[in-house]
Amino acid sequence: MSQWFPKLKPLGREVWERSVLLTQFLCCIHIIKEHVVEIHQVMGPSMLPTFSAVGDVLLVERLSTKFQRIKQGDVVMALSPENPRLIVCKRVLGLEGENLVVMPTHGSGRVQHIKVPKGHVWLQGDNLSNSTDSRHYGPVPYGLLRGKVFLRVWPPGGWTRF
Amino acid sequence: MAEPAWLLAKRSATAALLSITLTDIVGNIARTHGDSMQPTLQPGEKNLLGFLKGDIVFFEKISAAAYKYHRGDVVVLRSPSDPNQWMIKRLIAMQGDWINVPGSYEILQIPKGRCWVEGDGGNISLDSRTFGALPLGLVQGRVTHKIWPPHRFGRVERVFPKGRVMLDDEV
Q: Where are the domains of chain A?
A: 1-35, 37-161
> Of B19, B53, B61, B89, which is the active-site residue?
B89
Contact status, residue A140 vs residue A121, Cβ threshold 8 Å = yes
Tell me, what's the pLDDT at B35? 77
Predicted confidence at residue B47, as pLDDT, reads 60
**Residue B34: enclosing H or E segment and its boundaries?**
none
pTM of the model as a whole: 0.84
B47-93 pLDDT, tens digit each: 665 566 678 899 999 887 788 888 899 999 999 998 888 999 999 99
Query: Which residues of chain A does B83 touch, with a Cβ-Cβ cutoff of 8 Å?
Result: 68, 119, 141-143
Residue B170 pLDDT level (bands cut at 50, 70, 90) = low
The full set of domain ranges for chain B reads 27-170
Given a cut of 60, is residue A2 above it in pLDDT?
no
State how far the Cα of B4 lies from the Cα of B7, in Å rounded to an integer: 5
Region B122-128: mean pLDDT is 76
Residue B171's pLDDT band, with cuts at 50, 70 and 90, is very low
Put simply, whether A77 touches B (Cβ < 8 Å) is no
Query: Tell me, what's the pLDDT at B151?
Result: 83
* A142 contact residues in B (CB cutoff 8 A): 83
Spatial CA neighbour of B50 closest among B64, B77, B37, B31:
B31
Q: Show the DSSP H helices in B81-151 as ranges.
A: 128-131
- Name the nearest CA neighbour of B106 among B68, B133, B143, B70: B133
**Domain spanning A37-161: CATH superfamily:** Umud Fragment, subunit A (2.10.109.10)
**CB distance A85–B67 less than 8 Å?**
yes
Transcribe A99-111 into DSSP letters. EEEE--SSTT---
Instruction: Give per-residue pLDDT as tens, A20-78.
Output: 999 999 999 999 999 999 999 988 888 888 888 888 899 999 999 999 999 999 999 99
Active site residue B53: no
Which of B36, B63, B125, B128 is flagged as catalytic?
A: B36
Do the strands A83-94 and A120-124 form a parallel or antiparallel pair, or are they unpaired? antiparallel
In chain A, which residues have their Cβ closer than 8 Å to the Cβ of B12?
none
Cα(B13)–Cα(B2) distance, integer angstroms: 17
Out of 3.10.310.30, 2.10.109.10, 2.160.20.10, 2.60.120.620, the CATH code matching B27-170 is 2.10.109.10
